[in-house]
């Protein structure tokens, strides 16, 4: 028997449950109570494409240092699902803990010798206390939270406070939950050796004023703040909760006080083709509009995306990426739609992508995307993913500059037209590649034009002449270069020591990357890092690569899609840019990144600097 | 087609309507469709309807899909914005456009390939959503731009120009529109201006989903013997149920009809639809009997035309969504952004 794992504020608890058993809210309660003790947590739902019956897991990383990426490995398994028992038990680290419902005796072969076993007869306690079957089911979850709070030293007052917030005005529910919690706590105190469990939570002050929110909720709020008035969507995991959150935010924040009428329109369309069509129609007509979807939805929208790009109509598409291809792994996470979004549609098309790292940037970038769509008159993709979108993540609070006004871009008004300004719908007047547009209905005699997906000249007149086509395509290229300058710029994190090695990453890889850089640094591997936040790439991306001998590109897909785009956009030696790829559908971990980079550095025969110096 | 540009100068004696525009102000570019194409007659009818309704030309938004019919918006109301979208997907774009600005007049123009074949799904859904619009299908049963393939409205047994009989059942757009919840449904013939113009005017005044199926023979690929969409066939089999007089609210009703020969329906905007009966008793406000009559026509090979169904008090998508009175595209930062103080409260609720 290895020594029992001992850790304060630095461990992973995994709950194995049955989908639809009411475990989700109890597990979230567990995570929030630790957060309220000032200790950062990073929870993740690992759920099936199913409503009831299939296995589901909830993993909570308790991390005083604030490492919010998935760690990998499990220190304490709360094994509530007989169906997955064997694989759950196998996953526990040697010296770790297994918490289970001991109502029915289990053969010793079901356990591991190198794991500490904690049995609580949850079903028996429930059956003795409750008669109603649903109550027996639901309170079993609260009872295990109670028992765990005793074992891990979680302050029960924090849990009770959370109950108080959740069941405000529903005293009966509040009471019964508090009682169930006490039931679990009392049983644990009477029957368990709490000292035998050596992973503990200790009050800290590392949460600060950060907020705990899901990326989809944050992106929806960004759409409200960014002035979206039209939302069209089609249900698809993992993006559905984004449109639903938009609806609930709008219900609170977007009704006219005097009349009660809605300052927004939401349409659940018949499919993704209609969703994007509605968005494009609204954008053409001067409303800010967005849709949220995931990979298969993008596939369906592709023809329309080409139209919006070529006819230069603003649109915002939030792609909450999941595992592909095809239906793929609908409830798992990946960053594998970069190519399908960046180059969506037939002909020479390229699109603007934004890569938020967390809910805070989901909020910011969605609001920003609505400005960029108007300014650039083109579709803007916000490339989030399931890991950010559907998990609560600790992040900096949302901020909004009170003086900020929506930037509607180049729009010619009736007054401009009356003043005799020349209007050419596709005429570049100042060299940035972006023409002026008019909203339909602007002026009785001036400024009308025909929008089409066919080739046209500067004045929107249909033309299939080669030179006219080429002029237009070159202007669009110029507009793309403008996008690279005004989209969110990459952020650089420099190693304390000079190094010839760099790493490029983006999006939800961010927390694992930050932790991996610490690991690498501790092992004497110095690496500079650049977080790419948008496509087309800033010149800073090429400069960063030129500055280093080798640059790792870390991403969550098989084909190194960001790397392909970098190779495609810049002139580089391909051997210099080294892929680090994780794509099994689980969120990337610091352990994986650090190990893979260390291994590759070894292959380059690198001796860490401090060792070389000695 | 003609290569001569239209002169921009108007004859000074042209009569202006109440909005101050002549009929020519509602014209568009010169048509590039084949000489004798039914679609050009429909464009002319739309021009006439807009002129007679005293519409401000720039208050019209024209949307279309892809195909011969979808080119037509270029040929009418040139002072308005138009959007030639993608094949079969105009309905969603028009839905979005309508959501953005409820104050414009939406004219959707499509064909049988665009709406019944590739775009059947979107056609159905725009009707059931009750988008306030006039949706015209220029129906010739054939693909023109790709040279003569059958579309989904071609009748079973109809013979193509190459002599092949169509073996698939046809889709009746009128039945479908009624079934899907359109609140104004009519059918007409491009060769019957007197029936078509009042129908377009009534449809444009209808505050809900208005659909017009206009049989519009294709002179190049579907105007031969054996076709059921040829000029000759439609003229022979046209069974008009009624003749419509469209009377705007402010107009005085002058003509008198003998009792029992006309029915009137008042629409929500005050306009009156007076239907002169032609032979049989037909009540266009009765959805069930409308469906029955249209189906009877299909069974007997008649092309049943006229105002087939109308709900005089429809609710449109904006009413269903309870949107504010101002067009959504006029709302500014102050109207839409909840501000930083509110955001602080939201932050506090997330801790």
Q: Look up residue A26 and give its two tokens.
A: 């109890």
B1 touches A at CB < 8 Å: no
* One domain, residues A422 and A370: no
Chain B: residue whose CA lies nearest to A397: B347
Chain B: residue whose CA lies nearest to A302: B86
Chain B: residue whose CA lies nearest to A227: B336
Q: What is the pLDDT of residues B230-285, one digit of tens each?
A: 999 999 999 999 989 898 876 665 656 666 677 888 888 888 888 887 777 888 99
Question: What whole-number distance in Å separates Cα of residue B259 and Cα of residue B274?
Answer: 13
A-proximal residues of B, 325-344, CB under 8 Å: 325, 328-329, 331-333, 335-340, 342-344
Q: Which of B85, B97, B318 sits opposite A282 (nearest CB)?
A: B97
In this structure, chain B runs to a length of 351
* Domain-located, residue B34: yes
Question: What whole-number distance in Å separates Cα of residue A563 and Cα of residue A56?
Answer: 33
* One domain, residues A48 and A151: yes
* Domain-located, residue A406: no
pLDDT of B2 higher than 70: no
Contacts with B316 from chain A: Cβ below 8 Å: none
* Domain-located, residue B210: yes
Q: Do B214 and B227 meet the contact criterion of CB atoms below 8 Å apart?
A: no
* One domain, residues A196 and A330: no
pLDDT at B1: 43
pLDDT of A308 higher than 90: yes
Provide the shortest C-alpha distance from residue A140 to chain B (in Å). Answer: 26
Q: Which of B63, B125, B321 sits opposite A265 (nearest CB)?
A: B321
pLDDT at B252: 62
Query: Residue range A183-208: average pLDDT?
Result: 97
Q: Do A566 and A517 meet the contact criterion of CB atoms below 8 Å apart?
A: no
Percent of chain A exceeding pLDDT 70 equals 98
pLDDT at A298: 98
Query: Between chains, do A439 and B84 touch, taking CB under 8 Å as contact?
Result: no
* Domain-located, residue A138: yes
Q: Which of B85, B333, B340 sits opposite A227 (nearest CB)?
A: B333
pTM comes to: 0.96
pLDDT at B254: 60
A-proximal residues of B, 34-63, CB under 8 Å: 56-59, 61, 63
Can you give the residue range of the structural domain that contains A82? 7-200
Of the candidates A436, A454, A486, which is a domain's last residue? A486
* Domain-located, residue A405: no
Query: Between chains, do B85 and A453 touch, taking CB under 8 Å as contact?
Result: yes
Alpha helices in chain B (DSSP H): 38-52, 68-71, 90-100, 112, 120-129, 173-180, 193-205, 231-237, 287-300, 317-321, 333-336, 339-349
pLDDT at A605: 64
Can you give the residue range of the structural domain that contains B248? 23-324
pLDDT of B288 higher than 90: yes
* Domain-located, residue B52: yes
The sign of the CA dihedral A304, A309, A312, A318 is positive
Beta bridge partners of residue B315, listed in sequence order: none
Contacts with B86 from chain A: Cβ below 8 Å: 277, 303-304, 307, 453
* Domain-located, residue B36: yes
Contacts of B181 (CB under 8 A, 6+ apart): B127, B128, B130, B209
* One domain, residues A291 and A192: no
Query: Between chains, do B333 and A405 touch, taking CB under 8 Å as contact?
Result: yes
Question: What whole-number distance in Å separates Cα of residue A206 and Cα of residue A34?
Answer: 11
* Domain-located, residue B110: yes
* One domain, residues A277 and A381: yes
* One domain, residues A374 and A272: yes
Query: Between chains, do B104 and A397 touch, taking CB under 8 Å as contact?
Result: no
In this structure, chain A runs to a length of 614
Q: What is the ipTM of this complex?
A: 0.96
Query: Between chains, do A284 and B321 touch, taking CB under 8 Å as contact?
Result: no
Q: Encode A132-201 in three state secondary structure.
A: CHHHHHHHHHHHHHHHHHHHHCCCHHHHHHHHHHHCCCCHHHHHHHHHHHHHHHHHHHHHCCHHHCCEEC
pLDDT higher at B9 or B23: B23
* One domain, residues A379 and A451: no
* Domain-located, residue A2: no
Of the candidates A176, A200, A224, which is a domain's last residue? A200
Residue A614 — very low, low, confident or very high, per pLDDT cuts 50/70/90?
very low
* One domain, residues A57 and A139: yes
A-proximal residues of B, 122-141, CB under 8 Å: 122, 124-125, 129
Residue A197 — very low, low, confident or very high, per pLDDT cuts 50/70/90?
very high
Residue A70 — very low, low, confident or very high, per pLDDT cuts 50/70/90?
very high
Chain B: residue whose CA lies nearest to A394: B351
Query: Residue range A528-544: average pLDDT?
Result: 98
* One domain, residues A437 and A504: no
DSSP-derived 3-state class of residue B8? coil
Of the candidates A469, A486, A503, which is a domain's last residue? A486
Chain B: residue whose CA lies nearest to A308: B85
Query: Residue range A45-57: average pLDDT?
Result: 88
Q: How many domains does chain B have?
A: 1
* One domain, residues A421 and A545: no
* Domain-located, residue B13: no
pLDDT at B251: 66
Residue A426 — very low, low, confident or very high, per pLDDT cuts 50/70/90?
very high
Looking up tokens 């944050």 gives A218
Query: Residue range A260-264: average pLDDT?
Result: 98
Of the residues A207, A229, A269, A363, the best mutation for testing chain B's interface (the one with the most B CB atoms within 10 Å of its CB) is: A229
Residue A591's domain is classified under what CATH number? 3.40.50.920
Provide the shortest C-alpha distance from residue A260 to chain B (in Å). Answer: 8
Considering only CA atoms, which of A509, A528, A542 is closest in space to residue A355? Answer: A509
Percent of chain B exceeding pLDDT 70 equals 95
Q: Which of B82, B96, B121 sits opposite A450 (nearest CB)?
A: B82
pLDDT at B11: 79
Query: Between chains, do A274 and B92 touch, taking CB under 8 Å as contact?
Result: yes
Query: Between chains, do B336 and A227 touch, taking CB under 8 Å as contact?
Result: yes
* Domain-located, residue A250: yes
B275 touches A at CB < 8 Å: no
Contacts of A198 (CB under 8 A, 6+ apart): A4, A5, A6, A7
* Domain-located, residue B177: yes
Q: Which of A277, A279, A398 sits opposite B343 (nearest CB)?
A: A398
Mean pLDDT of chain A: 96
Contacts with A215 from chain B: Cβ below 8 Å: none
Looking up tokens 């597990």 gives A27
Alpha helices in A231-292 (DSSP H): 240-253, 272-284
Question: What whole-number distance in Å separates Cα of residue A584 and Cα of residue A563?
Answer: 18
* One domain, residues A269 and A378: yes
Q: What is the pLDDT of residues B305-345, one digit of tens each?
A: 999 999 999 999 999 999 999 999 999 999 999 999 999 99
Residue B217's domain is classified under what CATH number? 3.40.50.970
What is the count of residue pairs from A and B with beta carbons less than 8 Å apart? 227
Considering only CA atoms, which of A546, A578, A539 is closest in space to residue A562? Answer: A578
Q: Which of B93, B98, B343 sits opposite A400 (nearest CB)?
A: B343
Q: Measured at the alpha carbon of residue A455, what is the angle toward residues A452 and A456, in degrees to the nearest 5? A: 80
* Domain-located, residue B186: yes
Q: What is the pLDDT of residues A325-381, one digit of tens each?
A: 999 999 999 999 999 999 999 999 999 999 999 999 999 999 999 999 999 999 999
Provide the shortest C-alpha distance from residue B322 to chain A (in Å). Answer: 6
Query: Residue range A76-86: average pLDDT?
Result: 96
Question: What whole-number distance in Å separates Cα of residue A258 and Cα of residue A67?
Answer: 47
Q: Do A294 and A385 meet the contact criterion of CB atoms below 8 Å apart?
A: no
Residue A339's domain is classified under what CATH number? 3.40.50.970
* One domain, residues A481 and A501: no
Chain B: residue whose CA lies nearest to A256: B324
Q: Which of A398, A442, A444 sits opposite B57 (nearest CB)?
A: A444
pLDDT of A517 higher than 90: yes
Element (H, E) at A228: none
Q: How many domains does chain A have?
A: 4
Q: Which of B56, B99, B333 sits opposite A282 (nearest CB)?
A: B99
Full DSSP string of B24-48: GGGB-SPP-SPTT-HHHHHHHHHHH
Task: State the Cα torsion A318-A323-A327-A330 to the nearest 10°.
Answer: -80
Q: Which of A261, A269, A289 sits opposite B322 (nearest CB)?
A: A261
Provide the shortest C-alpha distance from residue B281 to chain A (in Å). Answer: 38
Chain A: residue whose CA lies nearest to B72: A450
* Domain-located, residue A359: yes
Question: What whole-number distance in Å separates Cα of residue A495 and Cα of residue A498?
Answer: 7
Tell me how far the alpha carbon of residue A79 is from its chain's centroid.
27
């Amino acid at each position: 028997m290895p020594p029992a794992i001992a850790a304060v504020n630095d461990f992973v608890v995994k709950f194995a449950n049955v989908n639809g058993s009411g475990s989700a809210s109890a597990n979230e309660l567990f995570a929030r109570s630790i957060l309220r003790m000032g200790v950062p947590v990073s929870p993740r739902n690992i759920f099936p494409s199913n409503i009831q019956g299939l296995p589901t897991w909830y993993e909570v990383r308790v991390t005083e240092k604030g490492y919010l990426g998935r760690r990998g490995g499990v220190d304490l398994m709360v094994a509530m699902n007989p169906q997955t028992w064997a694989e759950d038990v196998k996953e526990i680290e040697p010296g770790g803990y297994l918490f289970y419902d001991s109502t029915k005796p289990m053969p010793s072969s079901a356990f591991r010798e190198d794991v500490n076993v904690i049995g609580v007869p949850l079903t028996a306690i429930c059956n003795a206390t409750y008669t109603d079957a649903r109550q027996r089911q639901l309170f079993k979850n609260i009872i295990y939270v109670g028992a765990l709070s005793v074992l891990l030293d979680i302050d029960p007052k924090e849990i009770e406070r959370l109950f108080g917030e959740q069941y405000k005005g529903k005293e009966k529910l509040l009471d019964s939950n508090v009682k169930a919690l006490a039931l679990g706590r009392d049983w644990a105190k009477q029957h368990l050796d709490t000292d035998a469990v050596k992973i503990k939570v200790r009050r800290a002050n590392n949460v600060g004023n950060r907020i705990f929110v899901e990326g989809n909720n944050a992106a929806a709020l960004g759409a409200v703040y960014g002035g979206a008035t039209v939302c069209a969507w089609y249900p698809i995991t993992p993006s559905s909760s984004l449109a639903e959150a938009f609806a609930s935010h709008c219900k609170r924040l977007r009704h006219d006080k005097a009349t009660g009428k809605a300052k927004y329109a939401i349409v659940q369309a018949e499919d993704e083709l209609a969703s994007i069509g509605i968005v494009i129609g609204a954008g053409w007509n001067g409303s800010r509009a967005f849709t949220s979807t995931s990979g298969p939805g993008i596939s369906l929208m592709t023809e329309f995306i080409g139209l919006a790009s070529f006819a230069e109509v603003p649109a915002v598409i939030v792609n909450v990426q999941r595992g592909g291809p095809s239906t793929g792994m609908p409830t798992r996470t990946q960053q594998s739609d970069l190519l399908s979004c960046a180059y969506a549609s037939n002909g020479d098309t390229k699109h603007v992508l934004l890569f938020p790292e967390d809910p805070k940037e989901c909020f910011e970038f969605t609001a920003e995307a609505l400005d960029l769509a108007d300014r650039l008159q083109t579709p803007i993709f916000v490339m989030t993913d399931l890991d950010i979108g559907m998990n609560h993540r600790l992040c900096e609070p949302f901020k909004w500059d009170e003086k900020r006004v929506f930037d509607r871009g180049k729009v010619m008004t009736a007054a401009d037209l009356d003043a005799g300004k020349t209007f050419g719908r596709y005429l570049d007047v100042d060299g940035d590649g972006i023409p002026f547009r008019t909203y339909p209905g602007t002026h009785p005699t001036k400024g009308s034009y025909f929008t089409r997906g066919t080739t046209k000249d500067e004045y929107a007149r249909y033309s299939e002449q080669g030179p006219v086509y080429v002029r237009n395509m070159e202007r669009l290229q110029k507009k793309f270069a403008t996008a690279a300058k005004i989209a969110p710029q990459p952020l650089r994190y420099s190693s304390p020591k000079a190094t010839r090695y760099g790493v490029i990453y983006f999006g939800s890889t961010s927390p694992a990357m930050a932790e991996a850089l610490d690991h690498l640094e501790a092992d004497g591997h110095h690496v500079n890092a650049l977080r790419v936040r948008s496509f087309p790439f800033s010149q800073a991306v090429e400069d960063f690569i030129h500055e280093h001998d080798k640059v790792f590109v870390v991403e969550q897909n098989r084909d190194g899609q960001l790397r392909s785009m970098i190779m495609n956009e810049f002139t580089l030696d391909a051997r210099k840019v080294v892929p680090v790829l994780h794509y099994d559908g689980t969120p990337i971990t610091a352990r994986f990144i650090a190990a893979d980079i260390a291994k590759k550095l070894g292959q380059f025969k690198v001796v860490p600097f401090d060792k070389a110096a000695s | 087609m003609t290569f001569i540009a239209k002169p921009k100068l108007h004859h000074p004696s042209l009569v202006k309507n109440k909005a101050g525009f002549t009929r020519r102000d509602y014209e568009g570019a010169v048509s590039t469709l084949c000489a004798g194409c039914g679609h050009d007659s429909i464009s002319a009818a739309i021009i006439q309807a807009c002129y007679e309704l005293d519409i401000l030309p720039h208050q019209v938004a024209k949307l279309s899909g892809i195909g011969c019919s979808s080119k037509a918006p270029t040929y009418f109301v040139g002072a308005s914005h138009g959007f030639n979208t993608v094949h079969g997907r105009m309905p969603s774009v028009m839905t979005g456009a309508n959501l953005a600005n409820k104050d414009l007049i939406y004219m959707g123009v499509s064909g049988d390939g665009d709406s019944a074949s590739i775009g059947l799904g979107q056609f159905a859904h725009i009707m059931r959503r009750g988008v306030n619009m006039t949706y015209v299908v220029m129906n010739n049963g054939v693909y023109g731009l790709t040279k003569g393939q059958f579309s989904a409205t071609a009748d079973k047994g109809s013979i193509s120009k190459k002599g092949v009989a169509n073996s698939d059942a046809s889709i009746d757009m009128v039945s479908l529109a009624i079934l899907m919840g359109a609140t104004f449904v009519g059918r007409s013939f491009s060769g019957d201006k007197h029936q078509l113009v009042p129908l377009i005017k009534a449809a444009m005044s209808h505050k809900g989903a208005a659909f017009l199926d206009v049989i519009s023979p294709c002179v190049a690929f579907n105007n031969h013997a054996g076709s059921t969409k040829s000029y000759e066939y439609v003229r022979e089999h046209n069974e008009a149920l009624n003749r419509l007089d469209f009377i705007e609210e402010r107009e005085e009703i002058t003509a008198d009809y003998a009792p029992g020969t006309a029915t009137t329906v008042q629409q929500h905007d005050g306009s009156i639809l007076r239907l002169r009966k032609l032979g049989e008793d037909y009540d266009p406000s009765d959805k069930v009997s409308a469906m029955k009559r249209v189906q009877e026509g299909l069974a007997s090979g008649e092309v049943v035309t006229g105002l087939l169904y109308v709900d005089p008090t429809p609710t449109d998508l904006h009413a269903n969504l309870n949107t504010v009175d101002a067009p959504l595209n006029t709302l500014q930062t102050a109207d839409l952004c909840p501000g930083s103080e509110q955001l602080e409260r939201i932050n506090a609720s997330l801790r």
